[in-house]
Structures are given as C-alpha cells and as structure tokens.
Chain A
Amino acid sequence: MTDSRATDPISRTLDEIAEEFALLGDWEERYGHVIDLGRAMPPLEAALKTEATRVRGCASQVWLVAEPEGDVIRFRGDSDAHIVRGLVALVLRLVSGRRAGDILAFDAQAAFRRLGLDTALSPQRSNGLASMVARIRAEAQRLATPAG
C-alpha cells in the first residue's frame, strides 16, 4: 500500500486517521473514539451559532463557520450531539486549512467508507453529515470563484 500513499494534504490526513481507526476494535471503541474527537474540538462560541451558520438537514443541530485565510479556508464547527460533534471534528480535521481546489477534489463519501463510518451511522445521521459536507463544498466553491 506504500506506493499508493497519497501526496495531497487531505489524503495524507485521511491516511493518518485511517491508521488510528485501524487500531480500534468493535463499534463501541469506534464510537468512543469519535466521541473523544468531538470532546477535543474547541466549541464554537455562542455568538456564531446562528441561523446563518446552522446546517439544515441534520437530525441534531450542526453549525459550520467558514473563514478564508490567505489561499486556504479555515472551518470551525459544532453540534449539540456528541457523536455528530465528533464526526464534525473528523471532517474539519480533513478539510480545514486546505485550498478550495483540494476541498472540492476530496471525496468525503469514500473517506467515510474507508473509516467504516458510513454503515455505522444511521441513514438520518449520514444525511446530516452529507448536508455538512455539501455546505463545506458550497463554501469552497464560493470562495474559489472570484466575486463579481
């Protein structure tokens, strides 16, 4: 597998995350790890949890803030549910601080399949995650396209 190792930053991070998950056993450990990732993520300040930053289509409440910083986009997010918060942390670890082009080239579905999190999550949950990923892509698209 060494020769297939990725070179772009998102894929390299995904490789790291995949190695972490490979150490985990049953679903309880995987969920536990996701919950821990959520706990480790700094919470979004209350003032940023607005209707504008709320991601629609999530079973629980999810907020996402996108801030362009030079040629990359910094994302911050939060959720009122522990497991979703962990998944938000996971996604942001992959996409935050990346260039718009890299974000748009990233296949989130495939990444979650690789981590074994696609089937582990209820469809409603996955839809929520899908809404968040769609929002990230939309932000990347918007910021990649020069205004005017």
Chain B
Amino acid sequence: MTDAAHVHSVHFDAAAVRAQFTVLSSTENGHPLCFLDTAASAQKPGSVIDAMSAFQRSSYANVHRGLYGLAARATEAFEAAREAVRAFVNAPDARCVVFTRGATEGINLVAGTFGATLRAGDEIVLSVMEHHANIVPWQMLAAARGLKLVWLEPDAEGVVAPQALEAAMTPRTRLVALSHMSNVFGTVQPAEAYCAITRAHGAAILLDGCQAVVHQDIDVQALGCDFYVFSGHKLYGPTGIGVCIMAEAWADSLPPWQGGGEMIDRVSRDGVSFNVAPHRFEAGTPAITEAVGLSAAIDFVRTLPRAAVEAHERGLGARLLLGLRRRNSVDVYGPALEARPVVAFNLRGAHPHDVAQILDRRGVCIRAGHHCAQPLMTHLGVTATARASLGVYSSADDVDQFLDALDLAGRMLM
C-alpha cells in the first residue's frame, strides 16, 4: 500500500527531518537534549502540532450531529483521519477503524466485546514478553469468565517462535494476543506466521502494534489478523488517541462495549438499538482534535521515504548495539547481532535508575524500570533494565552522546 512512498525512497535528509522537532534543538543541564526514549512516547513534528492548533482555531465543533457547516467540516476532518488510518495499515474498510484513547483502550475494547463471547474453560494464548496492556485485560477477563491463560516465552533471540504458538494451541484456544514488536527487546515478531497458525486452529488473533507501526509498514490484510491496535503518541502523534483495527466480520458482529452517545441508533424507555461500526464502539464525544493530529502524524510518516528511514534507523541501531556490546561492563538483552531501534541493557553492578539519573545530567533521556513488562523482567531474572530507543529524528551524535554518558556512569558507579 505504500508503493508510492517506496518509489520516492531516494533521499532522506535526516537533519531536515530532525529540525521539524524543535525540542531536539534544546539543551538539558547544559548539554544538547539527547532523546532516546521514543519507545515510551515519540516527540511531535511541527506539522502535527500545527494541524491540531489550526483545527482548534478554525474548524472545531462536535462531530456526527451538527446541522451547521462548521460541524460538517469538523466531521469531515474526523472521518478523513479515519480514512488516513485505514489507508496507512490497509484496513479493508473505514468501518474497521475504531478510534480509542490509546492502544490500552483498544485491547480493553476487544476484551469487552470479543471477550464477552468467551465461556469458562476457553483459552487465551499470550506471552510473558507482552506489555502489561496486553496482559492485565486478559487476566481480568480470565478471572471474570473462568478462562485459562496460556503463556509463551521468547527464545534467546527475543522472539516468540511460531512453533511455540503452534504447540500451545488447543481446541479450547479462542484468542491469541501477541505483540508485533517487543517494547523491551525491539525485536520484530513473526506476526504473519502467528496469524496463519491461529487461523488454522479457528481462533482469533490480536496484535499489539504499538512499536511495530513506528518502524515498519503495516498491512493488516496481508498479516491476516483479527485485531490490530496501536497508539498515536508513539507514532509522532498526540496522546489520547489510538486505533483498534477490526476484521470486517468482527466489526459487523461484536456487541457494543461502553454505552453512551454516538454509539446508539434509537433509545427509548423500553430499550436501545445500536449504531453500526465503527460508531457502535465509540461511545461519547471522541478525541476529535487528536484524530486530526494522528492524521497529520500519518501524513508525516507516509511522506518520508520509508526504506531510507529504515536504513537510517538500522544504521543507528547497529551503532547503538555495537557501542553497548563493546563495553564489557554492559549486559544487552535480546539478540546479540540484530540492529534494532529499541535496546534494553544494564550496567553490571549498577541499578538502571542510577544510570538513567546520571545520563540525565548529561542531557540524555532513557527509560529505566520494568517497561510495563514485569513478567518479562522475571523471565530475564532482573528487576529492571535501562532502555534506549530510537526514532526517525535520532542521530549518530545522539548515540555517541549516550555512550559517552554511559561511560561516565560506569566510572561513577563501578
């Protein structure tokens, strides 16, 4: 679907792209701001900020109910954002694109709708590598409906092998919930194989695309998934908006979730009939301005030469990984040789919070903690790790500044 983008993948002006993120030219504690926490939330380009501001200033009204021109234009902008998302991930139809507050709400939406069709003894397969957002809703659902959770583990390369999924499938498996890219290891998962296996067993699959959508083209139809969720804020868009893509069959058959305005057809004292998808799943006034912002973020990503961006991020990922691996006092988690935009590590003998705090003094922003993935931390035998993550705006200078600061942390803490 992004053939047009690939055709233009001749040149990527990294400095010009970086210049669109004004915060990156600021200083922190007397050092250039070195932002290596994109996997937690990305910085926003000027075009996203401007689109939201312009919409608020000149086009804002509530959507789907106004009988005046301003509301009609706001509704057009909101639905154009939905179409932008549809095209971005090649969803079959706009009704398959449900706006949510974020990926977390998207997963809870699936738990509340698809989950309502599950019966005691049914099984959900997930992995210890999932973000808490793709664990806790299933634990709550399992407790409420008497379901069984079946846990998969990643291999030494930071990948949940398709064979492990195949072995976990039983006649009672109803749902598979796995991430498309690990938020700790940064490894891309064989999602297409997961979908094929799940389909062969007659179950449904949800993919958590929060990290994957930032770094690679997504085609939900080629993947063959039932549900695909991601958030706007990691994709250079605003917080407060995310997407749950549903396969057409689910969009047309699942029960509603939250009740309220927008999602109804008729309401009387005697009962209620519900609107069709996607509005059926979007109770209340949606995040209208944020949808416009997400649309602008998608425009930003789509106008970049994706292949060149991937090469740029891969090169920086290699510089980051090799820089870490060259340091004997550093443990890197995940594959030894795969360049990736997200790398978890620890300075041996130091707590990652110590490392993050010293790096902060050098203007370097990294994440340290459990990364909302405590089962994975337990699996790795650690309580926490540090994590550096790259975005489209990251530079070789960022990586070098980070490695220098890490050496200082090593000297201070060892």
A binds B: yes
On chain B, the residues within 8 Å of A2 by CB distance are: none
- Pair A35/B353 contact, Cβ less than 8 Å: no
Q: Restricting to B338-395, which residues have a CB under 8 Å from any CB of A?
A: 350-351, 353-354, 357-358, 360-361, 369, 383-384
From A4-12, A25-33, A41-49, A92-100, the one touching the partner chain is: A25-33
Which chain B positions have C-beta within 8 A of A82? 350-351, 354, 413
A59-B369, A61-B383 are contacts. A31–B412 as well, Cβ < 8 Å? yes
B29, B351, B413: the one within 8 Å of A60 (CB): B351
A28 to B360, CA, bound (A): 12
Q: Are B353 and A59 in contact (CB under 8 A)?
A: yes
Cβ 8 A contact of B361, one of A27, A60, A80, A81: A27
A54 to chain B, nearest CB (A): 12
Q: Is the CB of B353 within 8 A of A81?
A: yes
CB pair B351 A31 closer than 8 Å: no
Q: Which residue of A lies closest to B358 (CB)?
A: A31
Interface bits A116-140 vs B (CB < 8 Å: 1, else 0): 0000011001000000000000000
Question: In whole angstroms, how far apart are the Cα atoms of A26 and B360 in the complex?
Answer: 15
Given A59-B369, A61-B383, A122-B360: A81 and B354 within 8 A (CB)?
yes
Within 8 A of A (CB), among B25-39: 29
Residue of B nearest to A82 (CB): B354
Per a CB cutoff under 8 Å, which of B353, B383, B408 touches A83?
Answer: B353
Q: Are B361 and A31 in contact (CB under 8 A)?
A: yes
Closest CB in chain A relative to B154 CB, distance in Å: 25
B351: which A residues are within 8 A, CB to CB?
Answer: 60, 79-82, 84
Q: Are B353 and A60 touching (Cβ within 8 A)?
A: yes
The residues of A that contact B369 with a CB separation of less than 8 Å are 59
A123 CB, nearest partner CB in chain B, Å: 11
Grouping DSSP codes into helix (H, G, I), strand (E, B) and loop, the B interface class, with mixed when no group exceeds half, is: helix
Interface residues as binary, A47-61 with B (CB distance below 8 Å gives 1, 0 otherwise): 000000000000111
Query: Contacts of B29 on A, CB cut-off 8 Å?
Result: 27
Chain A residues within 8 Å of B350, by CB: 82
**Chain A residue at minimum C-beta to C-beta distance from B29:** A27
| Docked pose: A86 CA to B120 CA in angstroms | 51
Nearest-Cβ distance from residue A43 to partner chain B, whole angstroms: 14
Q: Which residues of A contact B358 (CB under 8 A)?
A: 31, 83
Q: Which of B360, B384, B413 contacts A35 (CB 8 A)?
A: B413
- Chain A proximity of B324: nearest CB distance (Å): 20
A64 to chain B, nearest CB (A): 17
User: Which chain B residues border A31 with CB–CB below 8 Å?
Assistant: 357-358, 361, 412
* Contacting residue for A122 out of B357, B408, B412, B413, CB 8 A: B357
For B354, B360, B369, B413, the residue with the greatest tally of chain A CB atoms inside 10 Å of its CB is B354
**How far is B354's CA from A79's CA once the two chains are assembled, in angstroms?**
11
| Pairwise interchain contact A35-B357, C-beta atoms closer than 8 A | no
Check B357–A125 contact: CB distance below 8 A. yes
Q: Which of A80, A81, A84 has most B Cβ within 10 Å?
A: A81
User: Using Cβ atoms and an 8 Å threshold, which residues of chain B touch A79?
Assistant: 351
Q: Closest CB of chain A to B405's CB: distance in Å?
A: 11
A80 touches which one: B357, B360, B383, B413 (CB < 8 A)?
A: B383
Give chain A nearest CB distance to B31 CB in angstroms. 12
B6-39: CB near A (< 8 Å → 1, else 0) gives 0000000000000000000000010000000000
Give the residues in chain B near A80, CB-CB below 8 Å: 351, 383
Please measure, in the bound complex, the distance between the C-alpha atom of A27 and the C-alpha atom of B412, giving whole angstroms.
Answer: 12
Cα A28 to Cα B413 with chains together (Å): 11
Q: B69 CB to closest chain A CB, in angstroms? A: 46
> Contact string, A70-95, partner B, CB cutoff 8 A, digits 1/0?
00000000011111100000000000
Q: CA A17 – CA B29 in complex, angstroms?
A: 25
User: What distance in Å separates the Cβ of A59 from its nearest Cβ neighbour in chain B?
Assistant: 5
Find out whether the CB atom of B361 lies under 8 angstroms from the CB atom of A83.
no
Bound complex: CA A35 to CA B369 (Å): 20
Chain A residues with Cβ under 8 A from B408's Cβ?
28
* Chain A nearest CB, measured from B384 CB (Å): 8
With A81-B351, A82-B351 in contact, is A35–B383 under 8 Å at CB? no
Closest Cβ of chain A: how far from B355's Cβ, in Å?
9
Closest beta carbon of chain A to B94's beta carbon, Å? 41
Nearest B-chain residue to A128, judged by Cβ: B353
A121 nearest in chain B by CB position = B357
Q: In the complex, what distance in Å separates the CA atom of A79 from the CA atom of B353?
A: 11
Query: What's the least CB distance linking A55 to chain B, in Å?
Result: 14
Closest to A59 in B: B353
B contact residues around A122 at 8 Å (CB): 357, 360
Q: How far is the CB of A1 from chain B (nearest CB, A)?
A: 30
Residues of A within 8 A of B (CB): 27-28, 31-32, 35, 59-61, 79-84, 121-122, 125
Residue contacts A-B, CB under 8 angstroms, 18 given: A27-B29, A28-B408, A35-B354, A35-B412, A59-B353, A60-B351, A60-B384, A61-B383, A79-B351, A80-B383, A81-B353, A82-B413, A83-B354, A83-B358, A84-B351, A84-B354, A121-B357, A125-B353
Known contacts A28-B412, A83-B353, A83-B358, then 7 further A-B pairs from the complex at CB < 8 Å, ordered by chain A residue = A32-B412, A35-B413, A61-B383, A79-B351, A81-B354, A82-B350, A83-B354
